[in-house]
C-alpha cells in the first residue's frame, strides 16, 4: 500500500507541531508577559510626576490650570493693593515647576503700606509666598520687586 504524499506531509507537519509546541507556548508566554510589563510602564508614565501633594489640603489654589492659578494670584494682589493704596507697577507670568504657578510682581507705595501688602499676601489662604524679593527706596516710598509662587 502506497501512502499518499498529502498524508505524509500532514503527518510530518503534525510531528513538527508536536515538537515545536512547547517552545511556541513559552515564546507566547514571554510575549504576553512583555506586553503586560509594557502596559504597566505606560500606565506609570501617564501618572503625574508628583503623587504626594506639595501642601496640606486646603492650602493649594485648586485652580484647573496654571493660567487660572496666576489669575487668582493677580486678583489677590490687586485687591490688597487697592485696599492699601499701593500701586501695582508690573505683573508678569514666569515659568515654574509642574504643580506651581508663579508671577513676577513690582509694587510701590508708602513703606508701611507695601510691607502690609506683602504680609497680607503671604498670610491669607490659599497659600502664596514670595520666592525672591527685594525692597528698594524710591521717591515717596519703597518699591517691592518679587516672584510670587502658589501651589495649583
Pick the closest to residue 104 from 88, 83, 119 (CA basis).
Answer: 88
pLDDT, one tens digit per residue, over 91-130 is: 999 998 888 999 999 999 999 999 999 999 999 989 999 9
Other Cβ atoms within 10 Å of 25 Cβ, number: 10
C-alpha cell at 152: 495649583
pLDDT at 47: 76
List the one residue out of 67, 62, 71, 58 whose CA is nearest residue 124. 58
Residues, the chain: 152
Query: Model-level pTM greater than 0.75?
Result: no
3-class SS of residue 30: helix
C-alpha span between 151 and 61 (Å, rounded): 6
Residues 6+ apart with CB under 8 A from 98: 48, 49, 50
Q: Which residues of the chain have pLDDT under 50?
A: none
Sign of CA dihedral 25, 30, 32, 33: positive
pLDDT at 51: 66
pLDDT attached to residue 50: 63
What's the rounded Cα separation, in Å, for the pair 37 and 48?
A: 19
Domain boundaries, the chain: 1-47, 66-151
Strands 141-151 and 128-138: antiparallel
Superfamily of domain 66-151: Ribosomal protein S6/Translation elongation factor EF1B (3.30.70.60)
Using alpha carbons only, what angle is made at residue 144 by residues 54 and 113, rounded to the nearest 5 degrees? 100
Amino acid at each position: 500500500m502506497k501512502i499518499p504524499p498529502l498524508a505524509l506531509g500532514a503527518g510530518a507537519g503534525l510531528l513538527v507541531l508536536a515538537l515545536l509546541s512547547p517552545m511556541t507556548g513559552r515564546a507566547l508566554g514571554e510575549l504576553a508577559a512583555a506586553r503586560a510589563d509594557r502596559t504597566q510602564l505606560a500606565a506609570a508614565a501617564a501618572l503625574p510626576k508628583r503623587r504626594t501633594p506639595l501642601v496640606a489640603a486646603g492650602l493649594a489654589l485648586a485652580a484647573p490650570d496654571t493660567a487660572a492659578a496666576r489669575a487668582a494670584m493677580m486678583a489677590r494682589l490687586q485687591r490688597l493693593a487697592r485696599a492699601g493704596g499701593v500701586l501695582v507697577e508690573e505683573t508678569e507670568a514666569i515659568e515654574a515647576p509642574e504643580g506651581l504657578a508663579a508671577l513676577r510682581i513690582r509694587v510701590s507705595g508708602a513703606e508701611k503700606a507695601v510691607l502690609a501688602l506683602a504680609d497680607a499676601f503671604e498670610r491669607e489662604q490659599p497659600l502664596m509666598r514670595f520666592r525672591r524679593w527685594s525692597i528698594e527706596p524710591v521717591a515717596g516710598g519703597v518699591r517691592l520687586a518679587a516672584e510670587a509662587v502658589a501651589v495649583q
